Structure 1
């Protein structure tokens, strides 16, 4: 402690701060110390030379427990150079007025200092309340008597100065006591009270009700439950209790960009609040955000990156409750976003993080500082007491962590799955909405435009050629693939959010040593981008797909089951049947299959007999895309048989009433595509080339052609060149018919000169092998005809 004070003394007296005396007293006065570099200023109160009694409004003084800081030491250094300083400090501080102030020498406590003019009655009341042997300290057990003492002081006519930090501390204690009393009155049975079950549109499990009440009772709390235990619904329940009973009308949610729409959806779903004013996602440029913050909303949802530039807007809106989700996602809390977060002022705060905190001491310090900056004490002291270092001074571990847990208990609630196992359902499903990057949206929109053209053609004619059907299937497929990553379409870039969200989920899930997860995607290229994240984190995995020889498949299942370092089972739908993977309890669908039966087959790999733990199913859904439309129109999935888009035949012929139903469902799904926020990719991977997914629907060349909008000849069975020729001939006749009919819909092979109006035919060639077989057949036919003529 002495060396820490020495550092501040040396540093403070070397500074070139500005100093302004705010009273007429030359030494024992209040000063303003200003920093010309940072443009900040702090109020400094000097009551003596040594530690104790002096005060500074800076954060370091509030949390260091040293009773000094560089601003106090700077001020003392200046005062000691003034004439009469030695005599003044020897004489000591003897004001006529009395003071109520706060000291923090390991624990914050209220102190009383009597002035020279303090009347006998007030001195007597103070003697019965404050401990004279400890510099007039107010014992904790006597805190309830402070209000009566302050009433006596106000009626005495004597000047008693109560400083802001002391008054804030007293007010906080009073509010907490009153809040606890009101909660006991509102919910006399605590977490078991039926009123809590009627609070939201979904029932709360007992531990969730307990967490919500804990957060409200404490006022500023940290909920550190294991992943999958419903921290979000606990925070929403706490917000509703505060809104309905404690006057809270403005809630700010701060979360990663990828979770903003998820929060909006769940607030609407659970709270029952309707309309955009219930939960508004803050998006767009500064003018739009400024307009959004000026609106009268119950909840606003923003991301970490927007805190610093929007601090003035947040302060003007003045949220009463701040919810910070996925706090562990800010790995370095000495960042602009982290510092900005700590500058947000609110009466209530709830921090959510599922990462075990005892293994990340440095990150824990700053997370807890937002909840209660005094809870863990100064960082220097905490690390000194709990870090284990080698001879070279490198940190090799931590010790005495149980003491930290005891210190955190008043502000943190943490439950493990094993503790609440009996309360959990057998299976929970969560649709996790994630944003798209700009590049993803570009691919998605190109194919959406192609779908729109085909739908428009169908509206006019109620007929689609085989070629249009195939183009439609490819465009729909490409839209879905773009939702995972651009890598699935171009094999070079990796713009996408899903894989990074999965990696963040694993960071939380695998903090539990025995946790394992199964990840499904229809496309092997999704495996590629996931594998890169797994290998970067040193996580073991197996990749299961249709191209694996059957004799090698059991070994992969056995490794996943028996190898503790193998945490992830990656699978295409080749693994959706016949596998027993119940040693995992988390299943992630990177993309939803069109067929609901296949979805249930996937889930049945872990949600089956022998599963001893609750199962969590997480579906990644790209916001504002075809995937979100699929969720809205379940009939679309029912109308598609297995094989159309899930790895079946590349040739699909739809006709009659089935085509009508299908096209109506296409309209419904694409018509429900919403508006999502495009985000910058977390990382960009270039020049990566792999082979095509053996289980994909189309050959990649056809996919690229369709994505680029180039019409392709529908391939047919190459063993019959006459069938191929007849097929091409039919398409050629259709193009000629369209060219001669001004009322016919635009044909992709027909091009019209915008000036002359002249039409030309641009006919794509069939695949090389098909073209060769057709040429050979026609050549043989010509030879035969020449022979007959001769």
Structure 2
């Protein structure tokens, strides 16, 4: 005999199932809103969630819905079967404006199967207490559900404040009266309950209003207020003051200025406003790994905050970061890759302001990282991005949701309103984007350079600190150890052999090359950060149709790794170096000037003089030259007469390396250059003191080695390209391998392309060599050889590598000098 269940299935007819809806193609017979609601109903009823009634009533109660797969749990309140009647704590319910979600639909489906469900839902929900709740069906609004035990006086007051004809909705213009109403109700003893989302909505609106009034009192002249201009250690330009005040007033804001307008300083200024006037004491900066130390440096520079009152970079392993989050700092700086593993530490620290830098990179992260960012809770937030967002709707949604998850409305609604699709459902464009701009106006500020041109300085210089990778640090440290040993030997003896001087020069050069990429040393791998940061910089810069950039590096191998990034992005370029024949050089300059698709001029120091590249307004130094005069020659290619735009100079400097040390001695180098080239005091560059000063300079430069954090392989992989396949350029011929012994061959001294500047540099080295030769007590000079048998000293001049024309002009100059000496004799 068949069992009861089998018999039941055989004799009863199942009700016809609704046709399954597509999640990607909207049916034509129903509205988009109803389609989205039915999708959630369909999906919710298919789930195997776990349900627990945590209230006291069988139907109109509160429930906990657990998802065994995701390990998530949400509270659901059931008050009816219509959209907007119920509540769920999940993110989808908070933002979808549908008044339902899969969890609510799951609970309703389970309740419908219970005995008495039909009668209970027909009778409706009539509790003795009143409820203040937030409905999100078509928009967010506060509603009041009056209880059966509500006193007549309270009901009468509610009727004056709430719109009974619209389910007890509170008109937005009456939000300010709500606090007085709640106070009056509390005095009557009537039980009035409010859900967390409703209270958060009310508090947020009230705080924004009070903050705006406070800022008007603090800065009565707005962005022109003198107190605002003196907020930081450096003065703010008017548009920067406007941006900082805008962000502080909005509370959660997006600063979308074009690249080069100083978004970082605006965020720091906004943080100072919120700290000094609104009690913010914990600031979390989230940025790419390569920018962490840059943020630390600029917070100290602009705000003057140091130590525990300053900024701490979150580095090291989990245990170290746990200790660092327990320290009471004003600001902590972390990178995107650390968000997911550190969410519990961040939540425990409870930042009050979150600053998100380079937010346009969100689109390149996996969903885990993006979701982790959105799970960080804070009253205030400032998001920075220089990439225009008007034509990238999907990317815009992700960024804005962190600032204000309700600003753009639900994703389905936004895309339906603005996407243009072909017959096959493929997105072919967008429409009505101007309306999005209007919607974002309360939380987003964006200025273009053309709009604030009169406020910009003629030239701005920025040293951009970037971290090294572990592979780079290995090369760098190996050569640093060679330098340390030679310096120690010199400190004991005050003497360096020819071999040690050559080894010292080689090791210092290798340390500098390692700062760009390991490719410059092994020509196989490409571990480094600078080229990827340059590419990211260009992603923002070249959104400006006419923008062009000049990029300098001492080595053509740097060109190789940069070219790989440019070609991957379809960015046109030219490469200018000493191996380019002189007759072909004008064509490269003309193409850069006239071809709108040629955006980048790559150059070695062969292009540091004589070129007019003023159609570019940004110059990037991938590496800094030892000679500050050469640095100024590079900059003079774009910062010159006829330049009609403000000029931005970006110097990439590897953190914790010889490059950072070089910054600390630039003042001495400038005085040294002035003594040699400008007729200033020459004693610092002549005689036996030259070696002493140089060795002391080497000590100062290398003192910073190791004071940075190396990027982990995982962080490096996120933005590092594969090694380029191109070979070394002509200018790399004199480079040596790591730790190589260069006794067999010494590289000639670097000579600038300008023959008269070259003559001055070469002449100074010659004078120094002659001084060493005339004084037996002077330490050895690399150009002086001593015959061990006779004791006679000989002068050996290493010939510099020069283009033929420059060599000819130098020879002519020496000939004139020789004739003058003979005539005097």
- Encode CA deviations 1:525-544: one digit per residue, 9 max, x unaligned: 00000000000000000111
- Among 694, 702, 705, the alignment partner of 2:730 is 694
For the 8 Å contact 2:561–2:723, the answer to whether it is kept is: no
For the 8 Å contact 1:595–1:640, the answer to whether it is kept is: no
2:443 aligns with 411
- Encode CA deviations 1:693-716: one digit per residue, 9 max, x unaligned: 3234x623xx11xx2354633459
- Encode CA deviations 1:541-566: one digit per residue, 9 max, x unaligned: 01111111111111111111111111
Tell whether 2:588 aligns with 1:556. Answer: yes
Residues 290-689 of structure 1: pairs in structure 2 closer than 5 A: 290-332=322-364, 335-635=367-667, 637-638=669-670, 656-679=688-711, 680=713, 681-682=716-717, 688=724
TM-score by length of 1: 0.87
Q: Whole-Å Cα distance in 2 between the matches of residues 116 and 247 of structure 1? A: 43
- Among 33, 47, 51, the alignment partner of 2:65 is 33
- Among 139, 143, 155, the alignment partner of 2:171 is 139
- Among 734, 737, 744, the alignment partner of 1:713 is 744
The structural deviation recorded for 1:688 is 5.0
Which region of structure 1 is more displaced relative to structure 2, 668-677 or 241-250? 668-677
1:772 aligns with none
Q: Whole-Å Cα distance in 2 between the matches of residues 532 and 692 of structure 1? A: 14
- Encode CA deviations 1:188-239: one digit per residue, 9 max, x unaligned: 0011111112211000111111111111111111111111111100110111
The alignment of Structure 1 onto Structure 2 pairs a total of residues equal to 711
2:293 aligns with 261
For the 8 Å contact 1:466–1:714, the answer to whether it is kept is: no
Q: Whole-Å Cα distance in 2 between the matches of residues 352 and 63 of structure 1? A: 23
Q: Whole-Å Cα distance in 2 between the matches of residues 506 and 22 of structure 1? A: 55
Q: Whole-Å Cα distance in 1 between the matches of residues 531 and 238 of structure 2? A: 33
Q: 1:291 and 1:307, CA in 2 relative to 1: closer, same or farther beyond 3 A?
A: same
Tell whether 2:272 aligns with 1:240. Answer: yes
TM-score by length of 2: 0.84
2:260 aligns with 228
1:124 aligns with 156
Q: 1:107 and 1:388, CA in 2 relative to 1: closer, same or farther beyond 3 A?
A: same
- Encode CA deviations 1:226-254: one digit per residue, 9 max, x unaligned: 11111100110111111111111110000
For the 8 Å contact 1:639–1:662, the answer to whether it is kept is: no
Q: Whole-Å Cα distance in 2 between the matches of residues 435 and 687 of structure 1? A: 19
The structural deviation recorded for 1:598 is 1.0
Q: Secondary structure of 2:610's match? A: coil
Q: 1:593 and 1:300, CA in 2 relative to 1: closer, same or farther beyond 3 A?
A: same
The structural deviation recorded for 1:361 is 1.1
The structural deviation recorded for 1:276 is 5.2
Q: Whole-Å Cα distance in 1 between the matches of residues 642 and 180 of structure 2? A: 64
For the 8 Å contact 1:268–1:274, the answer to whether it is kept is: yes
For the 8 Å contact 1:630–1:636, the answer to whether it is kept is: no
For the 8 Å contact 1:636–1:666, the answer to whether it is kept is: no
For the 8 Å contact 2:96–2:410, the answer to whether it is kept is: yes
The structural deviation recorded for 1:332 is 4.0
1:111 aligns with 143
The structural deviation recorded for 1:435 is 0.4
For the 8 Å contact 2:532–2:720, the answer to whether it is kept is: no
For the 8 Å contact 1:223–1:350, the answer to whether it is kept is: yes
Q: Secondary structure of 2:161's match? A: coil
Q: Whole-Å Cα distance in 1 between the matches of residues 60 and 385 of structure 2? A: 46
Q: Secondary structure of 2:625's match? A: coil
Q: 1:583 and 1:412, CA in 2 relative to 1: closer, same or farther beyond 3 A?
A: same
1:771 aligns with none
Q: 1:685 and 1:70, CA in 2 relative to 1: closer, same or farther beyond 3 A?
A: closer
For the 8 Å contact 2:628–2:673, the answer to whether it is kept is: no
Q: Secondary structure of 1:581's match? A: coil
Q: Whole-Å Cα distance in 2 between the matches of residues 152 and 240 of structure 1? A: 38
Q: 1:509 and 1:686, CA in 2 relative to 1: closer, same or farther beyond 3 A?
A: closer
Tell whether 2:317 aligns with 1:280. Answer: no
Q: Whole-Å Cα distance in 1 between the matches of residues 724 and 370 of structure 2? A: 35
Which region of structure 1 is more displaced relative to structure 2, 278-287 or 144-153? 144-153
Q: Secondary structure of 2:94's match? A: helix
Residues 119-198 of structure 1: pairs in structure 2 closer than 5 A: 119-198=151-230
The structural deviation recorded for 1:655 is 6.2
- Encode CA deviations 1:566-608: one digit per residue, 9 max, x unaligned: 1101111111111111111111000011111111111111111
Which region of structure 1 is more displaced relative to structure 2, 447-456 or 675-684? 675-684
Q: 1:295 and 1:306, CA in 2 relative to 1: closer, same or farther beyond 3 A?
A: same
The structural deviation recorded for 1:641 is 6.5
Q: Secondary structure of 1:330's match? A: helix
Which structure 1 residue ranges, 5 or more long, are not aligned? 645-652, 718-726, 735-790
Q: 1:689 and 1:380, CA in 2 relative to 1: closer, same or farther beyond 3 A?
A: closer
Q: 1:588 and 1:468, CA in 2 relative to 1: closer, same or farther beyond 3 A?
A: same
